[in-house]
Amino acid sequence: MFRFAEKYFVTIREKAISDDKEIVEPQAPGEERSEWHTVKYRTFQLVYIQHENGARSLIELSTNSKGFKLPFGLKLGESREQIIRQLGQPSAASSSMIVYSQEFGDGVSADVELLFEKGFLTDVDWKNFPLD
């Protein structure tokens, strides 16, 4: 579930609807200049960093479109109970969101946030965070 967004990110071939870019200049010695992109597609949106060396790092992938194929057979519109039955107990929960979190050995922590309205899944957000 956690690596789904990263795997999906490297396979994207469709044309973006928009790509907003912000240049981030180095603030300290040893830091590199980077470009932060917020890109919108027909069925999802993502945020990634383009590094000076050409590498890209996914920060977030979000969808609220039934046209986006979710992993593990999940579907927008499913109930909280159905989601928890499929994925197991979440790391955190509130009345409008459940969160699954995991830390990886490569210095990244990932959250999958599932957002609900009236008890039914409306949005899914994958977020990657570097560990300090």
Strand partners, 22: 36
- In this structure, which amino acid lies at residue 96? S
**What's the pTM?**
0.85
Question: Taking residues 77-89, what's their average pLDDT?
Answer: 94
Task: Evaluate if residue 108 carries a pLDDT over 80.
Answer: no
Alpha-carbon distance 33 to 124, whole Å?
30
Could you give the CA distance from residue 117 to residue 83 in angstroms, rounded to a whole number?
A: 14
* 113/121 Cα distance (integer angstroms): 10
Task: Give the residue carrying structure tokens 């969808």.
Answer: 63
Output the six-digit token pair for 46. Answer: 């993502």
Task: With residue 56 as reference, give the H or E element that holds it.
Answer: strand 56-63
Provide the β-strand partners of residue 28.
Answer: none
Mean pLDDT, all residues of the chain: 90
More confident residue, 2 or 104: 104
8 A C-beta contact, residue 97 and residue 107: no
Q: Tokens representing 103?
A: 């830390």
Higher pLDDT, 13 or 131: 13
Among the ranges given (4-8, 78-82, 90-94), the one the predictor scored with the smallest mean pLDDT: 4-8
Rounded CA gap, 113 and 108, in Å?
Answer: 16
pLDDT at residue 22, rounded to an integer: 95
- Which helix (H) or strand (E) covers residue 102, if one does? strand 97-103
Amino acid 132: pLDDT: 52
